[in-house]
Amino acid sequence: MLKHVIPVLIVFGLIAGPVSADAQTAEIEGTAVALDGATLGITPANGGKTITVRVWAIDAPDMNVWPWGPRSRGTLDLFLRNYENRVVCTPMGKDEMAVVGKCRMLAEDRDQELDIGEIMVRSGYAIENRAVGKGVYGRAETEAWRNNLGVWAKFWAK
């Protein structure tokens, strides 16, 4: 029985290799792809295995929630492409599937770098997880709501 369960767990990603101690404390810098509106696959700049990073303090629609999930991922993908997919994440912890990190898109000028959590909430395609963020993205979320952006769009009112 166990020989049939383990392959299923591996296929569904329920058994993952351990996150190294370095990945829990050191910044993760590299090239990112959007896996969904709140999750990145980051290939480290120094090479190595791709690391899955959940963006700290935000929740985005799941990919199977049509049309919001694909739109959320597409929005994050667009932001990443505008910054040549270069990101850095500071690990804040981990969950059962990924490192959880506060992430920003890298730019030549530090003043032009963007907090990924904030821009996703401000775009309306993610919301703040208030239990974690404690209001850090509250203003951005209110702005998205007032402007009917992303998941806050009021199609019936237009």
Dump pLDDT digits (tens) for 89-143: 999 999 999 999 999 999 999 999 999 999 999 999 999 999 999 999 999 999 9
Give the distance, in angstroms, between the CA of residue 123 and the centroid of all CA atoms in the same chain. 14
Task: Please name the residue ranges forming H helices in the chain.
Answer: 2-11, 21-25, 68-82, 116-123, 130-133, 138-146
Round the average pLDDT of the chain to a whole number and report it.
86
Q: Tell me the torsion sign for CA atoms 78, 47, 97, 92.
A: negative
- The amino acid present at 6, given as its one-letter code, is I
pLDDT in tens, 18-29: 444 444 579 999
